[in-house]
């Protein structure tokens, strides 16, 4: 088993694409679709890696990221931030909030897989 990934994303096609890519490589993939209780979902499911969308219904991915970084239980968890907005400002915001890595949509399958492998390797 390659590891457990939680995808916090509200777009079903993106969840499906990421799940397909990672499942094929042996990862167990769960998903969560809203920002309101995303931090609780991360703590409850205890994944090895979180792929977090920046724009979610109910709460921003940046706010969720900051909350996870402030919690000792999730402070060191690798978090790959996804966003449709790839401006420098968005990248800076993600880095300041504590993202392990930042990726813009649309992304390539190879890019996602490489990032997930690198982030899960670094914590293994």
CA atoms within 13 A of residue 8's CA, in its CB half-sphere: 32
pLDDT digits over 37-75, tens only? 999 999 999 999 999 999 999 999 999 999 999 999 999
pLDDT digits (tens, 9 = 90+) for 96-105: 999 999 999 9
d(C-alpha 18, C-alpha 90), whole Å: 22
CATH number of the domain enclosing 67: 3.40.50.2300
Backbone phi, psi, residue 31, to 5°:
-135, 160
pTM across the whole model: 0.95
Range of the domain at 21: 3-123
Domain tally for the chain? 1
């Amino acid at each position: 088993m390659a590891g457990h990934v939680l995808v916090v994303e509200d777009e079903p096609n993106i969840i499906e694409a990421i799940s397909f890519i990672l499942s094929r490589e042996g990862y167990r993939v769960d998903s969560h679709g809203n920002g309101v209780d995303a931090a609780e979902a991360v703590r409850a499911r205890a994944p090895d890696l979180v792929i977090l969308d920046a724009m979610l219904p109910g709460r921003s991915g940046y706010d969720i990221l900051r909350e996870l970084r402030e919690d000792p239980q999730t402070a060191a968890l690798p978090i790959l931030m996804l966003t449709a907005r790839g401006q420098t400002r968005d990248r800076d915001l993600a880095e300041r909030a504590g993202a392990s890595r930042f990726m813009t949509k649309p992304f390539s399958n190879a890019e996602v897989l490489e990032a997930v492998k690198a982030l899960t390797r670094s914590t293994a």
